[in-house]
Amino acid sequence: MNYTTSNLMNKYQSKIITAERAAQLVKNGDKVSYGCFHTKPIAFDIALADRIASGEITKLDTSIVGTILPVPQVLLKMAEKNDTGDFRYNTSWYGPLERMLASKGVVSFAPMQFQDVIKTRTEPLWHESLRRDVAVIQCSPMDNFGNFNFGISNALTRRDMLNTPIRIVEVNTNFPVVHGGAEEHLNIDEIDYVIEGTNPEMFYMPHIDAIEEEIKIAENIIPLIKDGACLQLGIGGVPNAIGKLIAQSDLKDLGVHSEMFCDAFYDMYMSGKITNRKKRKDIGKSVFTFSLCTKETMEFMKNNPLMASYNGEYVTEYTNIKAEDNMFSINATLELDLLGQAVSETIGPVQYSGTGGALSFTWGSYESKGGTSVLCLPSTYRDKEGKLHSKITGTLSPGSVVTIPRSVVSTIATEYGVANIKGISLWARSESLINLAHPDFRDGLVKDAEKMGVWRKSNKIS
């Protein structure tokens, strides 16, 4: 490959296209991919939405792994025009925007683990819905070697683009360059068109302060973490509380192999707790596949050689998780029954989030040499009328989807304690789980357990 500046710039100039012209490449009935989270294009999205609004496009499928602000204009126009068109907005992860627009009949959820999101873009297609005709992503400007970096949204991006006939990048000068790893970029020779975008500011997560129950959960988990542990954390109050507690602790030589690089890791880096020295693979580097974070964390990741961005298959595949010694994963769940079944993606039959890497990390971390997997949840929630309900239930709410089966679940943490239910009988696990529930609901849960035949006279609640 000729890396001379003149040769690269000639190629670059020959592929420049306006957002409006790029949107014209989409035919009625096409399937368009927007990548994952931050790679969602901005200028192209507006131009394509205009075609829907004008009636030029009446049938369209778009696909993305997770949606962030700004709201995709294509999604809004699809919802607006759905009565007179045939539109689908496909995703394997529900966030606030998907939940808000789900009732419009446009958002379509595809249940799958994170590593399968990548596999569906590389294996022979077994269903027409998996086809993509145009892939458009937002990314960093071209570097001196002709590469466009995916920043903090590696996930499926490279394989998705390479397995799509028309490949378009929309460059944003504010898009961070984050080191791999692997599969963190595309080369000028691997794309068809370049849109020079409007350079909007990146989307940053607000600071999330942990509430009292989340702080207590974090305090219950911290004693389980040992020096040299390799961590996986998600988003929210509990991980942020974990990060602050670890930053103030005596723990040392921690590593990172995590689906998401979250703000808690930034806190740990700043306090010198993360070195990645004890890892079996990617020694000295923090492995992740995407990030949703504050501006401070994103600035820390930018051009940082301590980062290793990989695709989602590498990061979340069970055998790769298991291969690291002392893996310690912490994942949130929404509901847990007395049999130990964990619901992490629905509230009753209503889709709330997605499977992501939860099952893989729960299983892989437990199987890791010296590893631990923790599922955490506050013991209660309040409904719209302010009534208190238990998140630990006798049986799951009707229509709930089991994300992690009872045979895989191991350690559970609430604000009332921690219990490892792996390998113990239903009698023993019902007792352990009831003792993690809010005291106001324990007697009722005992009655549920008796009806289910998973409670003995010798069982007791604290």
- 5-196 and 212-452 share one CATH topology? yes
Cβ count near 119 (within 10 Å): 15
- Residue 29's φ and ψ, nearest 5 degrees, are 90, 0
Which residues participate in catalysis according to the annotation?
A: 259
Q: What is the pTM of this model?
A: 0.96
> What's the CATH class of domain 212-452?
alpha beta
Residue 317: per-residue pLDDT: 96
Calpha distance 39→440 (Å, rounded) = 46
**Bridge partners, residue 330, by sequence:** 374
pLDDT tens, 336-384?
999 999 999 999 999 999 999 999 999 999 999 999 999 999 999 999 9
Helices and strands (H and E) in the chain: how many: 16, 24
pLDDT tens, 94-123?
999 999 999 999 999 999 999 999 888 888
Fold of 5-196: Glutaconate Coenzyme A-transferase (3.40.1080)
pLDDT tens, 30-42?
999 999 999 999 9
Calpha distance 197→156 (Å, rounded) = 22
Calpha distance 184→157 (Å, rounded) = 8
Q: Strand pairing of 134-139 and 147-149? A: unpaired
Residue 122: per-residue pLDDT: 85
Q: Which amino acid is at 205?
A: M
Residue 364: per-residue pLDDT: 98
Cβ count near 27 (within 10 Å): 11
Q: Are 372 and 230 in contact (CB under 8 A)?
A: no
Residue 3: per-residue pLDDT: 67
Q: Are 107 and 71 in contact (CB under 8 A)?
A: no
**pLDDT < 50 regions, the chain:** none
Q: Are 122 and 163 in contact (CB under 8 A)?
A: yes
Domain range annotation of the chain: 5-196, 212-452
Residue 2: per-residue pLDDT: 66
Residue 136: per-residue pLDDT: 98
